[in-house]
Every structure is written in C-alpha cells, then in structure tokens.
C-alpha cells in the first residue's frame, strides 16, 4: 500500500516502473480499439487511507467485448504480473 510520505510514494512508484512500462504492450494483445491508457494516482483527501494507483483502459469496444477482453487480460497476465503491487486496472468506454 502507498504511504502518505511523498518520498515513500515516489520510491514505490519508481519500483512499479517496469510493470507500468509493460502495460501498453500487453493491453494491445487484448484490446483492438484502444483510445488511450490513463495512469492516475488518487490521493486520500482525508488522510485516513493510502493513495491508490489506477490504470484505465479507454476503448471503443462495446461493453460485452470490453469486459471479456478485460477478464482475459486479468487472468492471463495482470494477476500474475501485478502480484502484491498496489495497482488497480479498469476499463472505460469512449
């Protein structure tokens, strides 16, 4: 999980860089109509919880196809690759 200390956040994020670099290539294997991939760090505004890192795949695919592709990505690559790293992945439609 992310710590609230900015130096700890930078350290953790820098440790995730190899994973983050792999994401675009892997996503392209499962999603044909990618509009963009968004990386977002959501801070806890109350200071009660750790910040969260999100990866959003924005696609023109229909909902059924997008969720099917997302499930395949998660099962065949994401869950094994991400391990205990505090990174979330989701799909959005354009």
Measured at the CA of 49, the angle between CA 88 and CA 14, to 5 degrees, comes to 50
According to the model, what pLDDT value does residue 45 have? 76
Residue 17 falls inside a structural domain: yes
- Return the closest-CA partner of residue 90 out of 27, 10, 13, 25: 27
Q: How confident is the model at residue 94 (pLDDT cuts 50, 70, 90)?
A: confident
> What CATH number has the domain bearing residue 87?
3.30.460
92 and 31 Cβ atoms separated by less than 8 Å: no
Residue 31 falls inside a structural domain: yes
Mean pLDDT of 56-83: 93
Measured CA to CA, the distance from residue 53 to residue 1 in angstroms comes to: 10
Residue 1 falls inside a structural domain: no
According to the model, what pLDDT value does residue 4 have? 52
Instruction: Give the chain's mean pLDDT.
Output: 84
Q: How confident is the model at residue 9 (pLDDT cuts 50, 70, 90)?
A: low
Residue 82 falls inside a structural domain: yes
According to the model, what pLDDT value does residue 47 have? 72
Residue 41 falls inside a structural domain: yes
Residue 86 falls inside a structural domain: yes
DSSP H stretches of helix in the chain: 6-30, 63-73, 79-82
- Give the domain range for residue 57: 6-93
Mean pLDDT of 36-58: 84
* Percentage of the chain exceeding pLDDT 90: 50
Q: Name the packing angle between helices 63-73 and 6-30 (round to 10°).
A: 110
Say how many domains are in the chain: 1
**pTM here?**
0.78
SS3 54: strand
């Amino acid at each position: 999980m992310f710590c609230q200390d900015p130096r700890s956040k930078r350290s953790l994020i820098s440790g995730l860089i190899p994973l983050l670099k792999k994401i675009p290539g892997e996503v392209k294997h499962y999603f044909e109509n990618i509009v963009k991939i968004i990386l977002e760090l959501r801070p806890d505004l109350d200071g009660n919880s750790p910040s969260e890192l999100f990866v959003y795949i924005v696609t023109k695919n229909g909902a059924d196809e997008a969720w099917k592709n997302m499930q395949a990505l998660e099962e065949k690559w994401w869950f094994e690759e991400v391990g205990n790293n505090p990174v979330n992945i989701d799909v959005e439609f354009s």
